[in-house]
Amino acid sequence: MQKYMFLFRGGDAARAAASPEEMQQHLRKWGTWFRGLGDKFKGGEPLDMTGKVLRGTGKALSDGPFAETKDLVGGYAIVEASSLEDAVEIARGCPIFEHDGILEVRPIREMKM
């Protein structure tokens, strides 16, 4: 089994127009999706949209992630899958797409002997 990093981006803009009931239904789908991962879920957390960014050789410090809201990383999860295709298949079920979000699937490099 190989580990993959799921980076959840965006999915915000459309949500602003959602009613409370729709938000709760959307939340429920997330819960179902994560529960469905079962043992394949190896951890992950939602990220706050604030923070600091350090940049370049000068370590220039600035506020917040600067990406546009639709590209902002809102959370990450580490998921086990048998192949990249398998990981993509798992990603397809994610509710983030209901709100036009982006899910980036990246294999985690392993120390091979």
Partner 1 sequence: MTGTPEELVDHLFRHQSGRMVAVLTRIVGPANISLAEDIVQDVLCDALETWKFGRLPENPAAWLMQAARHRAIDLVRRAGRFSALSGELRRHLESQQQLITAIDNLFGESAIDDGVLALAFACCHPDLQPDSQVTIILKYLCGFSVREIAHAFLVSEQTIEKRLTRGRAALKSQIALDLDLGHGLETARLGSVLRAIYLLFNEGYHGANESFPIREELCSEALRLGLLLATRPPFDGPETKALVALLFLHGARLPGRVDEEQYLVTLAEQDRSRWDRDLIQRGLFWLGESAAGDSVSEYHIEAAIAAHHVVAPSVEGTDWGEIRTLYAALAQLRPSPVIALNHAIAAGMADGPSAGLAALNSIGGKERLQAYPFFHAALAEFQGRLGDLSAARRSLDRAIAAARNPRERVLLQDRRLALGENS
Helix, strand, or coil (residue 84): helix
Q: Which stretch binds partner 1 (CB under 8 A): 32-40, 57-65, 79-87, 101-109?
A: 32-40
Residues 12 and 79: their CA atoms lie apart, in Å, by: 23
Q: Which stretch binds partner 1 (CB under 8 A): 39-47, 50-58, 62-70, 84-92?
A: 39-47
Could you please report the per-residue DSSP string of 14-43? GGGG--HHHHHHHHHHHHHHHHHHGGGEEE
Residues 90 and 79: their CA atoms lie apart, in Å, by: 9
Min CB(101)–partner 1 separation in Å: 11
Q: Which stretch binds partner 1 (CB under 8 A): 43-51, 52-60, 65-73, 84-92?
A: 43-51
Hey, what are 76's tokens? 């990450």
Per-residue binder mask for partner 1 (CB under 8 A), 88-107, x = binder: --------------------
Residues of this chain that bind partner 1 (CB under 8 A):
12, 15-16, 19-24, 26-28, 30-32, 34-35, 44-46, 74-75, 77
